[in-house]
């Protein structure tokens, strides 16, 4: 159905890496806490951002799993 060449995968990988390396609000938050409170405050901010992101991904995965398990139509939609 889809014909992906190496160039498509390379473009996707390049975009994904650049988007993940670019600084965003999380980095600004962590740097602000580090400059204001030192290394300990920076690591605390880092741990807070990291644990929040992991929890968000876990809850999203569990929610999507529950929806897909409950609905055959939703499962078929995601599958397609």
Length in residues, the chain:
80
Angle between helix 39-70 and helix 25-37 axes, rounded to 10 deg = 150
Ordered by start, the domain boundaries in the chain are 24-79
CB 31 within 8 A of CB 43: no
pTM: 0.57
Cβ contacts of 75 within 8 Å, gap of 6 or more: 68, 69
Per-residue pLDDT 10s for the chain (80 aa) are: 567 788 888 998 898 888 877 888 888 999 999 999 999 999 999 999 989 888 888 888 888 788 878 888 887 887 77
Angle, CA of 48, 68 and 13, to the nearest 5°: 55
Nearest to 27 by CA among 45, 51, 54: 45
């Amino acid at each position: 159905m889809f014909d992906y060449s190496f160039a498509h995968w390379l473009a996707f990988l390049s975009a994904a890496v650049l988007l993940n390396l670019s600084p965003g609000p999380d980095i600004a938050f962590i740097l602000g806490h580090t400059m204001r409170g030192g290394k300990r405050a920076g690591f605390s901010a880092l741990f807070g951002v990291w644990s929040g992101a992991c929890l968000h991904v876990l809850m999203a995965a569990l929610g999507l799993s529950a929806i897909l398990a409950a609905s055959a139509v939703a499962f078929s939609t995601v599958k397609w």
